[in-house]
Structure formats: C-alpha cells, structure tokens
Amino acid sequence: MDIYASLARAHMQKFATTREQLAFVAVKNHTHSVHNPRAHYRKVLPPEEILSAREVAWPLTVPMCSPVSDGAAAVVVMRADAASTRAGYDRAVRVLATSLVSGSDRRAARGTHRPLSSTCRL
C-alpha cells in the first residue's frame, strides 16, 4: 500500500486533492459493491467512517484500499518440450520478459511516476 499512498500524496500535492475527496471515491466504490453478489464487502460506508478507520499508510485508511481478494491471476511456466505434451499447447505463448516490482516507488512523490508499460520497448 505504500506505493498507492505515495501516488495519492503526489496527486494531493499536484491537484490540491483532500483526504475527504479520496474518501468519497471509497464511498462510491462501497456503494457499488452492494449490488455485486460476488463483492468481498457488501456494505455502504459513510465518509466519516472511512476517514476515521485505521490508517494503512497516510492518507489511506483500510476502507480506501482493495481487499486481498481483489482479483487473481495464474500462469503456468514450463519448457516448450514439456508443454507440447500438455492439453492447451495450441494456446501457449512465448514469454519475452518478466518483471517484479515491490516496495516504495519514491518517484511518485516527485511527480515523475510513469506506468511500466511506458518504459518498455518490444
């Protein structure tokens, strides 16, 4: 969450966004969750409750953050000769590159954050 908090702080600095405005984004998201039977949390939260909740990383509180259950993905990686004997081989793709990023992105606080896709060239 420290990366998202850093991005939120950079946005607040650049656009004079307030914590209250960020809370209303969470209010909107929680309001929409009530209509989704697969949503992890299905409860409307008032902005006061969102702002007074436990802080994760300033300016974000718990209800402003996505739960761990938000999305999922899986990839099976194997040698081409091993994959050729498996069902679904006709849908296999060749991996050209991989990347792993974690921790704080200090560039966000300076307003120089760019998506990874903008720095890649195939």
Whether 114 is in a domain gets the answer no
In a domain, residue 42? The reply is: yes
What's the structural domain count of the chain?
Answer: 1
Q: Are the beta carbons of 59 and 19 closer than 8 angstroms?
A: yes
Angle at 29 between CA 27 and CA 106, to 5 degrees: 90
Compute the distance between CA of residue 3 and CA of residue 7 in angstroms, rounded to an integer. 6
Residue 104, both tokens: 């704080």
Domain assignment present for 10: yes
pLDDT of res. 99: 78
Mean pLDDT, the chain cut into blocks of 10 residues (122 residues total) = 90 95 96 89 94 97 84 78 85 82 60 56 52
| Residue 83 located in a structural domain | yes
For the beta carbon of residue 88, count every other beta carbon within 10 angstroms: 8
Task: Answer whether residue 89 is part of any domain.
Answer: yes
Instruction: Note the pLDDT of residue 12.
Output: 96
For residue 118, is it within any domain? no
Examine residue 34 and state whether it is found in any structural domain, yes or no: yes
pLDDT computed for residue 34 by the predictor:
93
3-state SS assignment for residue 101: coil
Angle at 60 between CA 52 and CA 48, to 5 degrees: 25
Per-residue pLDDT at 78: 87
What local confidence, expressed as pLDDT, does residue 50 receive?
A: 98
Against a cut of 0.75, is the pTM above it?
no
Identify whether 73 is part of a domain: yes
Which range marks the domain in which residue 88 is found? 2-108
